[in-house]
A and B are shown apart, each in its own frame.
Chain A
Amino acid sequence: MKKPVELIFELSKSGRKAYSLPACDVPEAGEKIPEKFARKIDARLPEVFEVDVVRHFTRLSQLNYAVDLGFYPLGSCTMKYNPKINEAVSRLPGFLRLHPYQPEETVQGALKLMYDLEKMLCEITGMDRATLQPAAGAHGEMTGLMIIKAALEERGEGKRKKIIIPDSAHGTNPASASMVGFEVLEVKSDERGNVDVEDLKKLMSDEVAGIMLTNPNTLGLFEERITEIARIIHGAGGLLYYDGANLNANLGKARPGDMGFDVVHLNLHKTFSTPHGGGGPGSGPIAVTKELAPFLPVPTVEKEGERYYLDYDRPLSIGKVRSFYGNFSVMVKAYAYILTMGPEGLREVAECSVLNANYLLKKLRDYFELPFDRWCKHEFVISGNRQKKATGVTTLDMVKRLIDYGFHPPTVYFPLIVPEAMMVEPTETESVETLDAFAETMISIAKEAEENPDLVKESPKNTPVARLDEVTAAKRPVVKWDFEA
Chain B
Amino acid sequence: MWNYIPHTREDKERMLEALGIKSVDELFEDIPKEVRMERNYDVPGPLAEDCLVRHMQELAGKNLHLGNCACFLGAGVYDHFVPSIVDAIISRGEFYTAYTPYQPEISQGTLQAIFEYQSMICELTGMYVTNASMYDGASSFAESAFMACSATKREKVLCSKAVNPEYRSVLRTYTRFRGVEVEEFGYKDGQVDLEDVKGKLNDKVAAIMIQSPNFFGVIEDLASIAELAHSKGAMLIVSADPISLALLEAPGKLGADIVTGEGQALGNPASFGGPHFGFLAATEKLLRKMPGRIVGQTVDTEGRRGFVLTLQAREQHIRREKATSNICTNQSLCALMGAVYMSAMGKEGLKEVAKLCYNKAHYAMDELAKRGFKRAFNAPFFKEFVLIAPKPVKEINEKLLKEGFIGGYDLSGQYPEIKNGWLIAVTERRTKEEIDRFVGIAGGEVR
Contacts and interface: CB of A to CB of B under 8 A. Distances in A.
B333 A340 contact: no
B94 A66 contact: yes
A8 interface: yes
5 contacts: A34-B380, A53-B340, A61-B95, A358-B27, A359-B15
B420 interface: no
A85 B48 CA distance: 11
A106 B298 contact: no
Report, nearest first, the 6 A-B pairs whose CB atoms are least far apart. A324-B273, A94-B60, A342-B45, A109-B62, A68-B93, A100-B273
A252 B41 contact: yes
Contacts of B18: 359, 362-363
Nearest to B293: A279
Interface string B170-213: 10111011110000000000000000000000000000000000
A202 to B, nearest CB: 20
A252 B107 CA distance: 35
Contact of B301 (A95, A108, A282, A466): A466
Contacts of A37: 219, 221, 248-249, 380
Nearest to A192: B30
B392 interface: no
A166 B358 CA distance: 55
A326 B270 contact: no
Given A31-B362, A359-B15, A328 B4 contact: no
B395 to A, nearest CB: 13
B44 A342 contact: yes
Interface stretch (A173-181, A232-240, A386-394, A446-454): A173-181
Contacts of A97: 65-67, 269-271
B336 to A, nearest CB: 7
Given A37-B221, A146-B173, A280-B329, A61 B52 contact: no
B321 A177 contact: yes
B350 A468 contact: no
Nearest to A259: B35
A172 B40 contact: no
B269 to A, nearest CB: 5
Contact of B298 (A25, A181, A469): A469
Contacts of B269: 96-97
A281 B44 contact: no
Contact of A468 (B71, B176, B298): B298
Contact of B97 (A43, A68, A98): A68
Interface in A191-220: none
B313 A328 contact: no
A146 B172 CA distance: 12
A3 to B, nearest CB: 8
Interface string A286-300: 000000000001000
B422 interface: no
Contacts of A26: 359-360, 363, 432, 435
Nearest to B51: A339
B32 A226 contact: yes
Nearest to A88: B53
Nearest to A26: B363
Interface in A132-149: 135-139, 141-142, 145-146, 149
Contacts of A181: 177-179
A349 B5 CA distance: 8
B77 A354 contact: no
Interface residues of A, number: 199
A369 interface: no
B59 A109 contact: yes
A110 B300 contact: no
A247 to B, nearest CB: 13
Interface string A39-83: 110111111101001101110111111111100101001011111
A375 interface: yes
A323 B96 CA distance: 24
A466 B302 contact: yes
A46 B132 contact: no
Given A279-B99, A329-B271, A472-B298, A175 B326 contact: yes
B7 A277 contact: no
B123 interface: yes
Contacts of B332: 277-281
Interface centre among B35, B110, B249, B269 (most CB of A within 10 A): B35
A325 B273 contact: yes
Contacts of B15: 355-356, 359, 432
B322 interface: yes
Given A9-B116, A61-B92, A346 B43 contact: yes
A437 interface: no
Contact of B105 (A8, A137, A464): A464
A8 B307 CA distance: 14
Interface in A84-111: 85, 87-89, 91-103, 106-110
Interface string B353-366: 10110111011001
B376 interface: no
A170 B320 CA distance: 8
Contact of A36 (B65, B75, B223, B296): B223
B227 interface: no
B105 A465 contact: yes
Given A320-B173, A473-B298, A142 B326 contact: yes
B91 to A, nearest CB: 7
Nearest to B324: A175
Interface in A324-346: 324-330, 332, 336, 338-346
B303 to A, nearest CB: 10
Given A18-B346, A278-B100, A281-B333, A61 B89 contact: yes
Interface string B299-339: 11110111110111101111111110111111111101000
B95 A278 contact: yes
Contact of A64 (B89, B94, B305): B94
Interface centre among A4, A26, A54, A174 (most CB of B within 10 A): A26
Contact of A339 (B45, B81, B328): B45
Interface string A258-272: 110000000001000
A98 B349 contact: no
B345 interface: yes
Given A26-B432, A26-B435, A62 B94 contact: yes
